[in-house]
Amino acid sequence: MTDNSEKVSWKPGTLLTPVPAVMVSCGNETTGYNIITIAWTGIINSKPPMTYISVRPERYSYNLIKESGEFVINITTRHLARATDWCGIKSGEHFDKFREMDLTPAPARHVSAPLITESPLNLECKVTEIKKLGSHDMFLAEIVSVNASKAYINSETGKFHIENSDPITYMHGHYYNVGKRIGGFGYTVMKKSTKERLKKQQSDNKKPE
Residues 100-119 that bind a copy of itself (CB under 8 A): 104, 106, 109, 115, 117-119
* Cβ-based nearer residue to a copy of itself, 66 or 78: 78
CB burial of 136-173 (b: ≥16 within 10 Å; e: otherwise) equals bbbbbbebbeebebeeeeeeeeeebeeeebebbbbeee
Asked whether 169 and 178 are in contact (CB, 8 A), the reply is: yes
Among 28, 69, 86, 95, binds a copy of itself (CB under 8 A): 86
- Binding part of the chain for a copy of itself, among 7-15, 28-36, 62-70, 199-207 by CB under 8 A, reads 7-15
Amino acid at 144: V
Counting contacts by CB under 8 A, is residue 135 touching a copy of itself?
yes
Contact 139, 71 (CB under 8 A): yes
Instruction: Report the chain's terminal Cα–Cα distance, integer Å.
Output: 47
When asked if residue 188 is in the footprint of a copy of itself (CB under 8 A), the reply is: yes
Greatest distance between any 2 Cα atoms in the chain: 60
- We find the least distance from the C-beta atom of residue 62 to a copy of itself, in angstroms, to be 14
Site for a copy of itself in 142-181 (CB under 8 A): 142-153, 160, 162-163, 165, 167-181
* 64 vs 141 by CB, closer to a copy of itself: 141
**Which listed residue (32, 45, 96, 202) binds a copy of itself by CB under 8 A?**
45
